[in-house]
């Protein structure tokens, strides 16, 4: 699907506030409600808009510790990789999971309440899989920037 300038304007507005109505968006871009509705539905169906979400403050949700966990697996077979992916994707503490190139096979963004909770997470949920060859943790000291919107 090719996006035109109207599609890009709609996407920018939705990234600012996805709770805007088609009427509100239409007024801002000088188009009818039905035009906006049809464009949004098309972009949803085409997978350009994947989902809508509220962005929560981790600290206020008692997830005060964030860590990037770099993982190297013992088993690099397709089955081993998929097994690890499906296992960690089901864990509540794992906010993001990336299969990467380089020294590590995966990078996880993990959020927990504190260091003890992170230790428990590693011992009970990650190391217990028996899939880990090497693990390295990097803790977030301060979040300098976190964006969810793409510049269009």
- The model's pLDDT over 14-50, given as tens digits with 9 standing for 90+, comes to 999 999 999 999 999 999 999 999 999 999 999 999 9
Domain with CATH 1.10.10.10 in the chain: 5-45
Position 138 scores a pLDDT of: 98
Q: Which helix (DSSP H) or strand (DSSP E) does residue 108 occupy?
A: strand 106-112
Eight-state DSSP code of residue 140: -
Q: Which CATH number fits domain 59-139: 3.40.30.10, 3.40.50.720, 3.30.70.920, 3.40.50.300?
A: 3.30.70.920
Per DSSP, the three-state class of 68 is: strand
- Confidence band (pLDDT; 50, 70, 90) for 1? confident
Instruction: Tell if the pTM clears 0.85, that is, is over it.
Output: yes
Domain at 5-45: CATH code: 1.10.10.10
Q: Above 90 in pLDDT, residue 67?
A: yes
């Amino acid at each position: 699907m090719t996006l035109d300038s109207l599609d890009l304007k709609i996407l920018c507005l939705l990234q600012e506030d996805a709770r805007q109505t088609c009427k509100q968006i239409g007024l801002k871009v000088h188009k009818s409600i039905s035009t906006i509705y049809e464009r949004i539905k098309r972009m949803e169906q085409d997978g350009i808009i994947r989902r809508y979400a509220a962005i929560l403050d981790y600290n206020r949700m008692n997830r005060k510790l964030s860590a990037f966990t770099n993982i190297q697996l013992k088993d690099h077979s397709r089955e081993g990789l998929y097994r690890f992916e499906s296992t960690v994707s089901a864990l509540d503490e794992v906010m993001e999971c990336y299969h990467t190139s380089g020294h590590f096979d995966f990078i996880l963004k993990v959020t927990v309440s504190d260091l003890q909770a992170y230790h428990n997470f590693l011992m009970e949920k990650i190391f217990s899989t028996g899939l880990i060859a090497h693990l390295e943790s990097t803790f977030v000291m301060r979040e300098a920037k976190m964006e969810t919107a793409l510049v269009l």
